[in-house]
Structure 1
Amino acid sequence: MAGNSDPLSPRAKLAVTAGKAVAAASRAAGRGSGSVIGGRVALKLDPDLLARLAQNLDVVLVSATNGKTTTTRLIAEALRAAGPVVSNALGANMPAGITSALAGGSDAKFGVIEVDEKYLAGVARDTSPKCIALLNLSRDQLDRAAETRMLAENWREGLAGSKAVIVANCDDPLVVWAASSSPNVVWVAAGQMWQEDAWSCPSCGGVMQRPGDDWFCGECGFRRPTPTWALSGDHVLDPHGSAWPIHLQLPGRANKANAASSAAVAAVFGVPPQVALERMYQVQAVAGRYDVVQFQNRDLRLLLAKNPAGWLETFSLIDPAPAPVILSVNARSADGTDTSWLWDVDYTRLTGHPIFVIGDRKLDLAVRLEVANQHFQVCDNLDQAVQMCPPGRIEVIANYTAFQDLRRRVGN
């Protein structure tokens, strides 16, 4: 690390070197980036390696069901105004992937780390973060993720008494419940489009009242905190009431909300909102998301949507009907093998769009679209779907591994 008076121990250095060698071998074998397997090997050799690598960094952790990867990128761009940044930019967000990322940042001042929701408490314990951004919690990977209320409880217990500044979305009751155990919380009004996981009070189980943009529990009085930062249209309002314009190349309201939270995080480290927001404009796509690619002489825009909340946000981005839409759903282990979440998505929002369905679980999706009275065609693969699409830019929406499959096919 830069100016490090406490260099890594010989064991830690060996662990880093071995991890990098294994990662390089994995890449050479064509098995992906190698960051996860490299991190696993390094942590086997030195179980305390993550803590050692983080000890001289100002660490920011970012956790949520949706928007982690994008917000991590936006924060990293903003903080580069104040010094070098190391980040797990490709989204390997469990301890092994995080360890690999930090091992590559020997001269960094800041570590900006996306963390899977289930691992947040443990990674926070290991990395002693200066700031933790909590964006949202909703249903995801139903076969293995804890119910959202339990995840909020895990966050609440794991972050209780944390020395970190918690930057939290005051519009999500589950996030507020989780963050409220911390002594130093900065509340951001970032909005909450998907509300189906927040109708019962996480504190007492009572029914949540939602007048306008406000919310409160009629039983115990748990209520929305007053924000100090807020997303207002195309501007971020800072704690002094100043409005700063958001100029992003990333589309949609959800990314403006991510920018608002990112500006609040940057301010914790002394980067002013104007500087932070200007730097965020550099981000054009995040791990291929939002990219427009040429394939078979057509323009395809690649959109990732992994769960009901993500699909709801994504539908708001697509070109108006009759733009053709290709939907691809897999149910491999990285996606979660339970596809019952498809029934929580409002596919009537696609009415008027020609729809083409591909992916491992295309028949599950076809049944869901049939019930939603949508007109669609089931195709064998992307090539066939593109050939059948009418003119115009094609919107391609896919869940996690389906998105990776698409990127490989289009050479992105």
Structure 2
Amino acid sequence: MSELPLRAQLASVLGRSAASLSRATGRGDGSVIGGRVALKVEPDLLAKLAQGRRLALVSATNGKTTTTRLIAQALRELGEVATNEYGANMPTGHITALSDNKSAINGVLEVDEKYLPQVLKATSPAFVVLMNLSRDQMDRASEINLLAKKWRTALSQSNTHVIANADDPLVAWAGLGAPNATWVSAGQRWKEDAWCCPECGGHLKRDQDPYWECPECGLSRPETAWAVDNDSDTLIAPGGQQIKLRLNLPGDANRSNAAIAAATAAGYGLHPERTVERLREISSVAGRYTSVVTMGVEVRLLLAKNPAGWLESFAVLDPPRVPVILAVNAQIPDGKDTSWLWDVDYRVLRGRRVFVMGERRTDLALRLETDEVPFEVADRVDEILGRLKAERPDITKVDVIANYTAFQQIRTAYGRVQ
């Protein structure tokens, strides 16, 4: 990486100082404030910090943080990696991540979907990694078709190499705007936002999953070089090589994330077998999938921010004998509009002990009542555990599904488990 100009060096130093002060005073991890301070001194700092690096930008509605962590884990085989793998995914967080590791040639940056065109233009990355697009925070986010169009336009004006999920029509259409692409069959459980052709608006034909096509304009699923077989827990690499995944992260969604990560790592020259070995070392990501033991009960934390995320969380729940706690807030990071709750099918929870909590628990309770799912209301996880232990002294496990700020509140109560 080339030496930074003096002004950029000063901005970087001041940003890191602000971040350190934020951490020392317990106000946060400093990723955002450090970037803000640095940008005040040098508005073009992100572009300058990116020069001479081989960056991968990771964007999607769901799975960005996990996939960023997986790719970074793989790339550490090559040496230091500059990354924001704990989720500060706007330019301020990117500046902090790159400033914190100025010597790293390789970098992996999680990027908020709305900021991808801006960050792509500033950083000229080697790779852009695209996984899925679905409705999220509709009170302040644009329609996903408009977002896909912005992605497509930005990619058509760059020389980056796209690594994308061919099974999501919106992602594929956006990725087709890039001059070069590697396509991965990574799956798409949630299809409710992808029935119409992003090119012409026609109804997509989906007779044989994961294949899709538009009978009106001919847009169709790109031919893939990589795939994941969830039934056999296998990654299929180019040339037909099959590698057992055996991840320590649960569910189909994480197999999908791992396939995308392996395809990205291959772009850096890493062999998929070695990549998968390194991916198996990850068992939680910023608290996601972490289990903590309290009051003699294992509490597993699952993050779900939107309908697609809740569907994936339901898929990894333990058997029905294990109770589940659902927690929903509607703060700014969550989006204040909770109408998305009505897009989730909660009937899968019938026959299971269900508790609801969070600032918008009454919204969630009404939704469960409509789906005829019995529930109990509570304020805290420990309160629920006390109730359960009094009734079932032998209980050993509980699952928690929470949206973003509710998840962070619960995680903080247990010491911000990683």
Structure-1 residue corresponding to 2:368: 369
Structure-1 residue corresponding to 2:104: 108
Cα displacement (A) at 1:22: 1.3
Aligned with 2:409 (options 378, 395, 405): 405
Aligned equivalents of 2:285, 2:337: Cα separation in 1: 26
Aligned equivalents of 1:279, 1:74: Cα separation in 2: 8
Letter in 2 for 1:231: V
Residues 215-253 of structure 1, C-alpha deviation per residue, up to 9 Å, x if partnerless?
111211111111111112311111211111212110101
Aligned with 1:392 (options 371, 381, 396): 396
Residue pair 1:15, 1:43 contacting (<8 A) in 2 also: yes
Structure-1 residue corresponding to 2:248: 249
> Which runs of no fewer than 5 residues in structure 1 stay unpaired?
none
Letter in 1 for 2:223: T
Residues 2-40 of structure 1, C-alpha deviation per residue, up to 9 Å, x if partnerless?
xx4x31111111111111111122222221111101101
- Does residue 79 of structure 1 match 2:78? no
Structure-1 residue corresponding to 2:139: 143
Aligned equivalents of 2:312, 2:107: Cα separation in 1: 28
Identity over aligned pairs, percent: 53
Cα displacement (A) at 1:261: 0.7
Aligned equivalents of 1:404, 1:316: Cα separation in 2: 22
Cα displacement (A) at 1:183: 1.2
Residues 346-381 of structure 1, C-alpha deviation per residue, up to 9 Å, x if partnerless?
111111110011100010000000001001001122
Higher mean C-alpha displacement, 264-273 vs 25-34? 25-34
Aligned equivalents of 2:368, 2:34: Cα separation in 1: 41
Cα displacement (A) at 1:314: 0.5
How many pairs were matched up? 408
Q: Secondary structure at 1:370's aligned position in 2? A: helix
Q: Secondary structure at 1:151's aligned position in 2? A: helix
Structure-2 residue corresponding to 1:231: 228
> Which runs of no fewer than 5 residues in structure 2 stay unpaired?
none
Aligned equivalents of 2:291, 2:381: Cα separation in 1: 15
Letter in 1 for 2:239: H
Residue pair 2:185, 2:227 contacting (<8 A) in 1 also: yes
Superposed counterparts of 1:272-287, under 5 Å: 272-287=271-286
Residue pair 2:296, 2:396 contacting (<8 A) in 1 also: no
Structure-2 residue corresponding to 1:180: 176
Residues 62-81 of structure 1, C-alpha deviation per residue, up to 9 Å, x if partnerless?
00000000000111111111
Cα displacement (A) at 1:282: 1.1
Aligned equivalents of 1:348, 1:322: Cα separation in 2: 16
Aligned equivalents of 1:295, 1:359: Cα separation in 2: 20
Higher mean C-alpha displacement, 108-117 vs 23-32? 23-32
Residues 103-130 of structure 1, C-alpha deviation per residue, up to 9 Å, x if partnerless?
0012212110100000001101111110
Q: Secondary structure at 1:270's aligned position in 2? A: coil
Structure-2 residue corresponding to 1:299: 298
Higher mean C-alpha displacement, 137-146 vs 381-390? 381-390
Superposed counterparts of 1:31-70, under 5 Å: 31-70=27-66
Aligned equivalents of 1:172, 1:218: Cα separation in 2: 17
Letter in 1 for 2:76: R
Aligned equivalents of 2:29, 2:46: Cα separation in 1: 19
Residues 271-319 of structure 1, C-alpha deviation per residue, up to 9 Å, x if partnerless?
0111111111111100010001012221100000000000000100010
Compute the RMSD of aligned alpha carbons: 1.0
Aligned with 1:201 (options 197, 213, 216): 197
Residue pair 1:247, 1:278 contacting (<8 A) in 2 also: no
